[in-house]
Amino acid sequence: MISSEVFRAYGMNMPSDLHRFGSGLIHETYMFTSGDTSYLIQKLNQSVFKDLAGIMYNIELVSNYLNFKYPDKPFVEFIKAPNGQTLVYIGKEAWRLMRYISNSKSFDHVQNLNQAYEAGRIIGEFHSTFSNFEANQLKETFPGFHDFQSRSNKFLLVQDFDEYGRAQSSTVEINFLNEMCNRILEIESQLSLPIRVTHNDTKLNNILFDTSGRAICIVDLDTLMPGNLTFDTGDALRTMCNPSGEDGLQAPVKFDKDIFLSFANGFIQSSYQTLTIPELKSLAYSMIRMATEQAVRFLTDYLQGDRYYRQPFEGFNLTASKVQIDLIKLASQELDWMNDQVGDMLLKVGVV
């Protein structure tokens, strides 16, 4: 399944126990062992990620900082080929190799409240760790990735163009999201949060846990870029607080208040000493902001004929957009409650 040339480029022999690893939809990931170490090798998706060199540059900058300041903190560790390069090209294929963090596990759905606490804690810790890192050193490898204005501009454009004649079948969703976009843009114009190193894809399954349930670190660093905190807390919350999954197949859509509380507790414990008060208070808003952005992205892709997201079933984009819309409605009803809870937590740790 992988040519031995790839392993030769890293100075290794073809392994005998090579097998497919994880549920990633973008890259192809395989696992193998050599001696007593396990490795992951990935064939990178170059149609989604156009600037692989920029991505690896960002990851290297961030991991050098971490290794220098916090050498004991676990982080993804890439292996260089004998020619000194992390990326190896075999023909047109791009590959990279990393050490597998032993005894680690990731989850697609929240298993218990401690896991939600741990996810919040590790995201808060990530932002505390990099709070003094000059985020603008990082390259914008995916321009406008979480830029709400450009996501909503594109949404309006594809509605007008309606190349696939699909706008009529999604009028209710389009109208709701246009309204939400205006609301979010209004809030964003008054929100001024510091630019930080953001992970930008903090879904639960990008967090590694050890066998005792403690979160070890956040992985899948391809979207590391400058951004603001809401991108990371919001993406984690919108995926964790809704047990239905993005496809709506696991369970009915729900906003799970207990998961929100556990996540918020973990997050505040590990970050209240370093993050600013507006950032800490943006937690509840961040979830609605990121659920809206994701709904807009799914519906934009639906209107443009499903060209970005892989469609696990016909109509996935429209369904996934509806799931986010239901979540936005449920979470919006609890916005005051969420803000009150966060306010109480902040008071308890002495932040007012």
Start-to-end CA span in the chain (Å): 57
Q: Which of residues 183-212 bind Mg ion (CB under 5 A)?
A: 201
Cα–Cα distance, 106 to 259 (Å, whole number) = 17
Residue closer to ligand GN1, measured from CB, 19 or 310: 310
Residue closer to Mg ion, measured from CB, 25 or 185: 25
CA angle 94, 99, 102 (to 5 degrees): 145
Contact partner, 125, from Mg ion, ligand GN1, none, Cβ < 5-8 Å per class: none
Contact partner, 334, from Mg ion, ligand GN1, none, Cβ < 5-8 Å per class: none
Q: How many CB atoms lie within 10 A of CB 135?
A: 18
Sites of contact with ligand GN1 (CB under 6 A): 25-26, 48, 201, 223, 246, 294
Three-state DSSP class for 215?
strand
Q: Which of residues 309-328 bind Mg ion (CB under 5 A)?
A: none
Residue closer to ligand GN1, measured from CB, 25 or 251: 25
Q: How many CB atoms lie within 10 A of CB 306?
A: 18
> In the Cβ-directed half-sphere of 20, how many Cα atoms lie within 13 Å?
6
Contact partner, 232, from Mg ion, ligand GN1, none, Cβ < 5-8 Å per class: none
Residue closer to ligand GN1, measured from CB, 246 or 334: 246
For the CB of residue 322, give the shortest distance to ligand GN1 in the complex, in Å: 14
Residue closer to ligand GN1, measured from CB, 14 or 25: 25
Query: Could you tell me if 249 and 203 are in contact, meaning their C-beta atoms sit under 8 angstroms apart?
Result: no
The Cα-based distances of 117 to 114, 184, 215, 268, 274 in angstroms read 5, 27, 9, 10, 18
- Residue whose tokens read 């937590």: 345
Three-state SS string across 331-342, please? HHHCHHHHHHHH
Residue nearest to Mg ion (CB): 220
Contact partner, 246, from Mg ion, ligand GN1, none, Cβ < 5-8 Å per class: ligand GN1
For the CB of residue 304, give the shortest distance to Mg ion in the complex, in Å: 21
Question: Alpha-carbon torsion 284, 290, 292, 294, what sign?
Answer: negative
Contact partner, 279, from ligand GN1, Mg ion, none, Cβ < 5-8 Å per class: none
Q: Which of residues 91-120 bind Mg ion (CB under 5 A)?
A: none
Residue closer to Mg ion, measured from CB, 223 or 341: 223
For the CB of residue 157, give the shortest distance to ligand GN1 in the complex, in Å: 19
Residue closer to ligand GN1, measured from CB, 125 or 201: 201
For the CB of residue 220, give the shortest distance to Mg ion in the complex, in Å: 5
Cα–Cα distance, 281 to 264 (Å, whole number) = 10
Among 179, 298, 272, 276, which residue's Cα sits nearest to residue 228? Answer: 276
Q: Which of residues 216-255 bind Mg ion (CB under 5 A)?
A: 220
Interface with Mg ion by CB under 5 A: which residues?
Answer: 201, 220
